[in-house]
Amino acid sequence: MSKVDFTGRVAIVTGAGVGLGRSHALGLAARGAKVVVNDLGASRDGSGGSSNAAQSVVDEIRANGGHAIANGANVADAAQVQAMADEAIAEFGQVDILVNNAGILRDKTFAKMTLEDFQLVMDVHLMGSVNCTHALWRHMVEREYGRIVFTTSASGMYGNFGQSNYGAAKSAMLGLMNVLHQEGNRKGIRVNMLAPTAATRMTEELLPPAVLPLLKPETITPGLLCLVAEDAPAKMILGAGGGCFAETKIYETRGVAFGDDELDADSVMARMAEIRDPEGQTEMPGAFDQTNKYIQMAAKLRGISLDQKDQ
């Protein structure tokens, strides 16, 4: 079994001043990576700002013999993010790993939420991840090496009351990962998602006090390190919490094909249970795999033979 080792690698971890980001930065540094510790130093709702948190993590890494620099860029500001990427490359010569972890919360029911609060959470979580990834993408393509992680959430995949903004931003990571996997995998760039359940300043008020010791950020980081390792998987959603790990996948049921004479809403509704039947469900590698599936089903029902070029 090969050992996970980041000697000679350079990583940027956003939101790394506290919580999960701090744990990830320390974990990378402990295994040899040079780390850019990014943190705006804002409060949980995104207000304020201070470089103290990031510098504290840098000091801890350096005290343990590692190499790190602090950066206070706001991930929602593309110009600041580009400057951070340029600084990292100037300081260390390259960037191999990007961990998109920065985030804020502005929880309210959708009826009470302002569009400003919705947009701000999208700007930090989704556009923050886009900004950081875009700033490094060409660099990674040119070097034909990159490891990128987007931080998603069960709120995005399964829903959580009062988090429509957060859930929307986190679920958007799925589409971003899938497309970047297709565009980057041939260039040695592996893109994955981490879905953590941890007791951090963003979640500790939402969790029962008795479970907080079980869900320390340090129980998540071993999984994160695997997602950015030399032998990392690709296009994986890794669920993690309390030292437990699982893979989340999206499947499509086998489905039902309707002939032209029965293709109406009443027929579809009548067979809804059959449409939703999970037996025989499969994973779709890409968007056109679904398209081809429907073409095959529709053609077979109508007795149409397709040439390979038509599929």
Enter the tokens of residue 266. Answer: 């009443």
The residues annotated as belonging to the active site are: 166
How far is it, in rounded angstroms, from Cα 34 to Cα 31? Answer: 9
> In this structure, what token pair is assigned to residue 30?
């402990």
With beta carbons less than 8 A apart as the criterion, state whether 121 and 106 touch. Answer: yes
Question: CA–CA distance from 21 to each of 13, 24, 38, 103, 279 (Å)?
Answer: 6, 5, 9, 10, 40
Contacts of 224 (CB under 8 A, 6+ apart): 24, 27, 99, 149, 194, 240
Structure-token pair, residue 309? 């070029």
